[in-house]
């Protein structure tokens, strides 16, 4: 018979409510700073659970318009659970983090993918598309996701944390702020003294900054004034949005402060390589299960300038793919030739894929959202043959409920409606 006395649930060390705004909850923060103290502490080898709100902190609803995406307050993101101190971790060590599971909340079996406004967040094609807010709500049924806003597709998610990292030291934080500040100044000068839209980087911003714990006023003010925004990934990990960093992955993070002070958030049910629309995964609130260990002196042992990781052994089996190429020529724009620019090549591969999906009947907005959310793979095919880098985008055939392959008679165009758009109808 089952033995209750010898059965122990893994503890949940940080609890949140996914339906309550993040800035009304404890154990969360949305800036990186070494002076944010840990809210919990664990011993190496312990298995534990951490609950996370969605990255916007409950600003996006399960509805059929995108006004919430249009109006989202991006000074309040990302909302991270933590910090979590690991006993015995010291600067120069390597923190080993095993991601054992990532699941949505039972009471919130849905997520969303969004296109942000050009002037509020942007995205990879913000300028090309003059982006207006749009979104798709995805319903979860076990490992599968479907959307009323993008009919005709169903796929298994590769759930993962979009954002996970250790706390920076004071020196590293100063380096971030200095180099990103210089980049902002450089592009502002190139733009005639006007801040470029969308922004090339985001400096510290006290507005919207949040630390959900009791702190002395002077410490809190210092964090709000100096804290680094969580938008980009950096040397400590952070917002790298690597879809294969999923359940079963093992991560190796450099440690910069005592205890390492691990934080996590921005959970994704699924994502394509590139997360191109910025709010480009299936964003969700949920629960992540961890175990940690420490390798003393690991930064030196492994030349650990940035994290390394082992990918998940669990991956959807979509072997048949339709692959689109892109080269570093702006074929969809002004035809300009670029030299070995993999970003341009990636964008052309994506635009080729979007154009194909439009021939099938999806709107541009639906195609943009789908490529952001589905388990699409992108690879650098060649980055040596000047002047054209080549990047590919692989669209899994098995996610579609209908045949999308090229045929001699052409493609069959269907009516898939439209995703959720602004209530004023502007797209």
pLDDT tens column, 340-393: 999 999 999 999 999 999 999 999 999 999 999 999 999 999 999 999 999 999
pLDDT at 81: 98
The torsion defined by the Cα of 262, 273, 203 and 122, in degrees rounded to 10, comes to -140
- Tell me the mean pLDDT in the region 279-284: 96
pLDDT band of 159, cuts 50, 70, 90: very high
Indicate whether 1 pLDDT > 80. Answer: no
Q: Are 298 and 307 in contact (CB under 8 A)?
A: no
CATH of 4-310, one of 3.40.50.720, 2.60.120.580, 1.10.290.10, 3.40.50.620: 2.60.120.580
Sort 325 into a burial class: Cβ within 10 Å, 0-12 / 13-18 / 19+.
middle
For the chain, the average pLDDT equals 96
pLDDT at 276: 94
Indicate whether 336 pLDDT > 90. Answer: yes
Q: What is the pLDDT of residues 165-194, one digit of tens each?
A: 999 999 999 999 999 999 999 999 999 999
Indicate whether 275 pLDDT > 90. Answer: yes
Q: 3-state class of 389 per DSSP?
A: coil
Residues 6+ apart with CB under 8 A from 343: none
pLDDT at 378: 97
Distance from C-alpha of 163 to C-alpha of 50, rounded to nearest angstrom:
13
Distance from C-alpha of 222 to C-alpha of 205, rounded to nearest angstrom:
11
Q: Are 56 and 261 in contact (CB under 8 A)?
A: no
Q: Are 260 and 43 in contact (CB under 8 A)?
A: no
pLDDT at 3: 83
pLDDT at 268: 98
Supply angle C-alpha 249, 52, 314, rounded to 5: 25
pLDDT at 314: 87
- Tell me the mean pLDDT in the region 199-219: 97
CATH of 321-396, one of 1.10.357, 3.30.530, 3.40.50, 3.10.28: 3.10.28
Indicate whether 118 pLDDT > 80. Answer: yes
Domain spans of the chain, in order of start: 4-310, 321-396
pLDDT band of 316, cuts 50, 70, 90: confident
């Amino acid at each position: 018979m089952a033995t209750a006395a010898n059965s122990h649930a893994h503890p949940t060390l940080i609890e949140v409510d996914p339906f309550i705004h993040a800035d009304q909850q404890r154990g969360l923060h949305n800036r990186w700073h070494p002076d944010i103290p840990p809210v919990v502490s664990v011993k190496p080898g312990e298995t534990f659970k951490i609950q996370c709100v969605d990255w916007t902190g409950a600003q996006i609803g399960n509805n059929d318009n995108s006004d919430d995406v249009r109006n989202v307050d991006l000074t309040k993101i990302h909302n991270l659970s933590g910090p979590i101190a690991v006993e015995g971790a010291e600067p120069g060590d390597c923190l080993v983090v095993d991601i054992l599971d990532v699941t949505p909340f039972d009471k919130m079996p849905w997520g969303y993918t969004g296109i942000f406004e050009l002037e509020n967040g942007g995205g990879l094609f913000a300028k090309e598309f003059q982006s207006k807010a749009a979104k798709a709500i995805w319903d979860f049924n076990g490992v599968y996701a479907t959307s009323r806003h993008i009919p005709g597709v169903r796929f298994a998610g590769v759930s993962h944390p979009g954002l996970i990292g250790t706390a920076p030291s004071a020196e590293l934080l100063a380096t971030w702020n200095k180099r990103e500040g210089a980049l902002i100044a450089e592009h502002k000068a190139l733009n005639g003294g006007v801040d470029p839209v969308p922004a090339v980087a985001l400096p510290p911003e006290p507005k919207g900054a949040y630390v959900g714990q009791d702190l002395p006023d002077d410490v809190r003010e210092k964090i709000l004034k100096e804290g680094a925004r969580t938008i980009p990934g950096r040397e400590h990990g952070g917002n790298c949005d690597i879809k294969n960093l999923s359940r079963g992955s093992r991560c190796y993070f450099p440690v910069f402060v005592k205890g390492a002070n691990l934080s996590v958030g921005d959970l994704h049910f699924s994502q394509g390589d590139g997360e191109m629309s910025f709010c480009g995964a299936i964003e969700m609130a949920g629960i992540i299960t961890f175990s940690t260990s420490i390798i003393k002196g690991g930064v030196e042992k492994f030349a650990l300038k940035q994290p390394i990781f082992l990918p998940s052994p669990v991956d959807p089996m979509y072997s048949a793919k339709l692959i689109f190429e892109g080269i570093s020529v702006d074929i969809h724009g002004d035809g300009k030739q670029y030299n070995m620019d993999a970003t341009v090549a990636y964008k052309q591969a994506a635009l080729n894929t979007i154009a194909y999906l439009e021939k099938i009947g999806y709107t541009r907005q639906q195609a943009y959202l789908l490529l952001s959310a589905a388990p699409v793979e992108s690879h650098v095919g060649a980055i040596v043959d000047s002047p054209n880098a080549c990047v590919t985008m692989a669209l899994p055939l098995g996610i579609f409920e209908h045949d999308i392959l090229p045929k001699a008679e052409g493609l069959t165009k269907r009516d898939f409606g439209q995703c959720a758009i602004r209530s004023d109808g502007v797209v």
